[in-house]
Structure 1
Amino acid sequence: MPDNIDQVWPGAMRSAVVLTVDYSDVLGILAQVPAMAGREKSLSVWRYGSQRGVERLLARLDDAGLRTSWLLPGRLAETHGTLVDDIATAGHEIACAGYEYEDFSALTPQDQIQVLWRGRDALAARTGISPTGFRLPLGAWAPGFELELVRAGFTWSSSWRGDDLPYRHPEAGGLIELPLHYELDDDAYLAFNLSPPVPPGQSRIAGYRETLANWQADLDGFHRLGLCAVMRLHPELIGTPGRAGLLRELLAGLRDQPMRWVATGHEVARWWATNGPDIPSDHPACVFQHYRSEPQ
């Protein structure tokens, strides 16, 4: 699809921005680095999200008057229910990231389905609303999982990459993908733990002003070309006192741009399902689907 498609978004909006928050307490890092188990000093880096980060991030979003989509493993509805309530009460969308932030590549197709429904049901039981959004925690889902997402009532995913605009999944047209980009992920700049090393090689933490400048440049580029930027934040990373100030400046820029549609994943997916074009046959998602279906 060509760049500069001014008429895609509602009204006079030129571009879309979806702010997403991945909140998993320690479940995410334990799935990524199993060696963290039992290392409470290291785990406290990620527990900070529950201790301080969620509260501070919610405050900054409230100051800016912006609504976001929070991707949560269902287990948090049982262990951190009050925080889940706070997120929902503040008007943010609650979406699903499995049940315990599982590595899907290590699960059988049937286990993936069970994890999906268990996570969905746990969040629905806590909030009273069945989530419509899903993000793959780790790994890759099995062929046909897209259809199970639709059967479970999901209308959007933000798990794949490969585009600057939403697209319909080639095997499940009722599922809209909101593609991610590493450069709009705070983890790529700010994640750090000394031992075990996260990231391997200890190449971070990035400078805050440079990080903000990168994000602003990317968001400006998406806006200039009329695209959809999906940003991924983590309360344990962006929710520290200094970084919350960085976030305040970023959010103010989004809020003050009248032609930039800052919306939830559900809102953008609903719009695209009605107004977006069909996915072309040469789209990266279609190419991948064709490759995966070929005998190996």
Structure 2
Amino acid sequence: MVRTLPRCRRLVARAGRAGGGAHATERHVTHLPAWPGGARYAVAITVDFNDIHGIQTREPRIVGREKSLSVWRYGATRGVDRLLAAFDAFGVPTSWFVPGAVAETHRGTVCEIAAAGHELGVSGYRCEDFDALPLAAQIDACRAGRAALADATGRDAHGFRSFTGNWADGFAEFLVAEGFTWSSSWRGDDLPYVHPRSDGDVKGARLVELPLHYELEDEPYFEFNLSPPVPAGQPRIAAYRDVLDNWRRDVDGFRRFGLCCVLRLHPEIIGTAGRIALLHALLAHLRGTGDAWFATGHDIARWWHAHAPVNDPGHPVDVFARCVADEAAR
């Protein structure tokens, strides 16, 4: 029997200690989501292996500047091998998002990732900016990327990540119709949720979203290029121990409230000679809790769809869908 999981956080009002005013606090509750095997929280480790295509979409001035592009080529040269070794050492499954062009130019590397038992997901064909594409072009990019991955590995991908931009109305339905089970493109929660269907059917297959958080990514802390400036504001590279402390604290928070912790890594960033030690330390911390469910995005999505196929009332993704529908009806 399918049951809806209890929410693991509640907002409660209580009197302030000094001034007597009410304020909202988050209360730790004992009724946590019943993750498989009695695990206290879920962990999905995801990797974006974009090579040069992501940065060329985001910063067109870098196209043709080989010295700068070498920063992003480093992932295929060194980073992927270090990540695979780390994941093997800690025995964790992961999900890699690979655009079709990378599956073609780095076919051997992509096959090595698949042979190590990791999941492969689609990120378009060249990390397209979905804001610049109509629905038909978004679908074409997804199909081309998926076909390239299947040609390289002999496997159909079931996960999707939009590199940048919003997908058009109807894209989630396309993904479900094509056999995709999950996405990790949106934010807005720290538990999985399901994308609403345009036909309103709550019993049919729906796309499960594994939401991201910037603080659980490596890119905001470490991505850097001098000229053209990446990121545009040209901040400095963060201190490694501070980042590790941030990650540990976030993991502890996700564990405390029984949530789904989604890491987003890049081989050219976390896979450098110095930063790979941060990943080892983080994986050791995750393993050390002793009660994490490490799973691919596909496995988490299948489990969530079976146990929590309906979002909480008023979930932001449902509100957004209603706003889109209302706007289209005007």
C-alpha deviation, 1:277, in angstroms:
4.8
C-alpha deviation, 1:66, in angstroms:
0.9
CA–CA separation in structure 1 for the residues paired with 2:181 and 2:155: 14
Q: Aligned residue for 2:305?
A: 273
After the TM superposition, which segments of 4 or more aligned residues of structure 1 sit over 4 Å from their partners? none
TM-score after normalising by structure 1: 0.97
C-alpha deviation, 1:7, in angstroms:
3.8
Candidates 67, 73, 78, aligned match of 1:41: 67
Q: Aligned residue for 1:194?
A: 226
Equivalent position SS for 1:146:
helix
Candidates 232, 237, 260, aligned match of 1:228: 260
C-alpha deviation, 1:2, in angstroms:
4.0
Q: Which deviates more, 3-12 or 247-256?
A: 3-12
Q: Is 2:285 the partner of 1:283?
A: no
Q: Aligned residue for 2:20?
A: none
Q: Deviations for 1:129-156, whole angstroms, at most 9, x for unmatched residues? A: 1000000111110001000001111000
C-alpha deviation, 1:203, in angstroms:
1.1
CA–CA separation in structure 1 for the residues paired with 2:99 and 2:33: 36
Residue 161 of structure 1 aligns with an amino acid whose one-letter code is R
CA–CA separation in structure 1 for the residues paired with 2:173 and 2:324: 16
Residue 150 of structure 1 aligns with an amino acid whose one-letter code is V
Q: Deviations for 1:11-54, whole angstroms, at most 9, x for unmatched residues? A: 21010010000011000000000110111111000000111111
Residue 35 of structure 2 aligns with an amino acid whose one-letter code is W
Any stretches of 5+ residues in structure 2 without a counterpart?
Answer: 1-6, 10-28, 199-204
Candidates 276, 284, 291, aligned match of 1:252: 284
CA–CA separation in structure 2 for the residues paired with 1:27 and 1:254: 31
Q: Is 2:211 the partner of 1:185?
A: no
RMSD: 1.2
Check whether the contact 1:254–1:262 (CA below 8 A) recurs between aligned residues.
no
Candidates 20, 24, 40, aligned match of 2:50: 24
Equivalent position SS for 1:174:
coil
Q: Aligned residue for 2:159?
A: 133
Percent identical pairs in the alignment equals: 55
CA–CA separation in structure 2 for the residues paired with 1:294 and 1:174: 21
Q: Is 2:235 the partner of 1:203?
A: yes
C-alpha deviation, 1:265, in angstroms:
0.3
Which structure would you say has the larger Rg? 2
Q: Aligned residue for 2:103?
A: 77
Q: Aligned residue for 1:218?
A: 250
- Number of residues of Structure 1 aligned to a counterpart in Structure 2: 296
Q: Which deviates more, 205-214 or 59-68?
A: 59-68
C-alpha deviation, 1:6, in angstroms:
2.1
Q: Is 2:169 the partner of 1:143?
A: yes
Equivalent position SS for 2:155:
coil
Residue 149 of structure 1 aligns with an amino acid whose one-letter code is L
Check whether the contact 2:99–2:124 (CA below 8 A) recurs between aligned residues.
yes
Equivalent position SS for 1:287:
helix
Check whether the contact 1:191–1:204 (CA below 8 A) recurs between aligned residues.
no
Check whether the contact 1:73–1:119 (CA below 8 A) recurs between aligned residues.
yes
CA–CA separation in structure 2 for the residues paired with 1:117 and 1:102: 13
- RCO higher in 1 or 2 (8 Å CA, sep ≥ 6)? 1
Any stretches of 5+ residues in structure 1 without a counterpart?
Answer: none
Check whether the contact 2:196–2:206 (CA below 8 A) recurs between aligned residues.
no
Check whether the contact 1:66–1:255 (CA below 8 A) recurs between aligned residues.
no
CA–CA separation in structure 2 for the residues paired with 1:204 and 1:291: 39
Q: Aligned residue for 2:24?
A: none
Q: Which deviates more, 168-177 or 269-278?
A: 168-177
CA–CA separation in structure 1 for the residues paired with 2:179 and 2:71: 34
Q: Which deviates more, 261-270 or 3-12?
A: 3-12
Check whether the contact 1:23–1:70 (CA below 8 A) recurs between aligned residues.
yes
C-alpha deviation, 1:289, in angstroms:
1.1
CA–CA separation in structure 1 for the residues paired with 2:103 and 2:49: 11
Equivalent position SS for 1:205:
coil
CA–CA separation in structure 1 for the residues paired with 2:140 and 2:270: 32
